[in-house]
Structure 1
Amino acid sequence: MIYWLLFWTFFKIGAVSFGGGYAMIPLIQEQLEALGWMNAEEFANILAVSEMTPGPLATNTATYVGAKT
């Protein structure tokens, strides 16, 4: 069930955000904090690792969040 909720959360973010990965970051953070999956400090750590990893920022962030939850 968590996978469906995770998919639905990122689907909503992707459907309404324009401007690439950096435009999605505040929306992702807001949703994760609202659902209680992680706090701002954990998200900042995820974002730092996602920026260092090769590939699209939003995809790396979503993958790391999925692995973390």
Structure 2
Amino acid sequence: MKNLEDLFQHQLKDLYSAESQLIKALPKMAKKASDDKLKKAIEKHLEETKEHKERLKEVCDELGIKPT
């Protein structure tokens, strides 16, 4: 990384990747949860994570960054 813009872009891509990985992992966690409250909390977190990923995509699109 040469400057703050490179760091910013790297961080956006890293966050997008993390959200993508969570979207894959959370349904598996919810399926294995034995407690209903825990299962509902994980499912709620999944929906929030999907929104976060969409917002990050919008920011990347606005800045002309490919998040993948």
Q: Is the structural similarity TM-score above 0.5?
A: no
Greater RCO (Cα-Cα under 8 Å, separation 6 or more): 2
- Structure with greater proportional helix content: 2
Q: Which structure has the greater CA radius of gyration?
A: 2
